[in-house]
Amino acid sequence: METKKLNICQRVPLRKTAAYLVILGLLAGFSGLMLTGCGYHLGTFMHPQVKSIAIAPVVNDSTAYNVAAEMRGKLTEAFMRDGSLKVENLRDADCILYAKVVNIAFAEVTESSYDDDVVYRAAEWQVRIEVEFSVIIPGREGHLIKPRTITANANFQVQADMDTNRRYGIQQAAWNAANTIVEYTTEGW
């Protein structure tokens, strides 16, 4: 039997080799970017002299209880998560955000009934929170961001305890409102 020797240095057309190397390099580069992230960061659109913000105690003009504390907590969390502004205390911050919960309303989204329509109970509700906010720079007249009213919604379902689910719905709506306020504050230029 005859064995054939394979020539390792067989000629492959240069064009094909270059094309394969380019494609391989692009795939490796793309894979590296997808795995590690490209590191591209847009930065902030905030006023260049404003580096920190304080969230003043939130005023609650609605009929729901404890909303002011939840809204202030969600605002603080949203600003910290965004990272455009450092959250400071009222004395050390470059600007102060004032917020007021104007209204909270609940509406039925999905209905359900039991016992051939004898017992009625809504299956899903929507909570709508209306918040007025403004931003000032301490020691200066006028507003950095003029008073503005935003509305945020959240849907929630009812399991056993309506009050607990309503609280969770308010918290989600407050989180959605806080994110909108952060966006309007940091990108309001």
pLDDT value for 4: 59
**Alpha carbons 118 and 91: distance in angstroms, whole number:** 59
| C-beta atoms surrounding 140 within 10 Å | 9
Q: Give the domain ranges of the chain.
A: 11-40, 52-186
Taking only the tens place, the pLDDT of each residue in 108-154 is 888 776 666 666 677 788 999 999 999 999 988 888 899 999 999 99
CATH of 52-186, one of 3.60.150.10, 3.40.50.300, 3.40.50.10610, 3.50.50.60: 3.40.50.10610
Give the model's pLDDT for residue 41: 47
pTM exceeds cut of 0.75: no
> Which residues are CB-neighbours of 108 under 8 A, at least 6 positions away?
122, 124, 125, 126
Q: Which residues of the chain have pLDDT under 70?
A: 1-18, 31-47, 113-120, 188-189
> Residue 2's pLDDT is what?
59
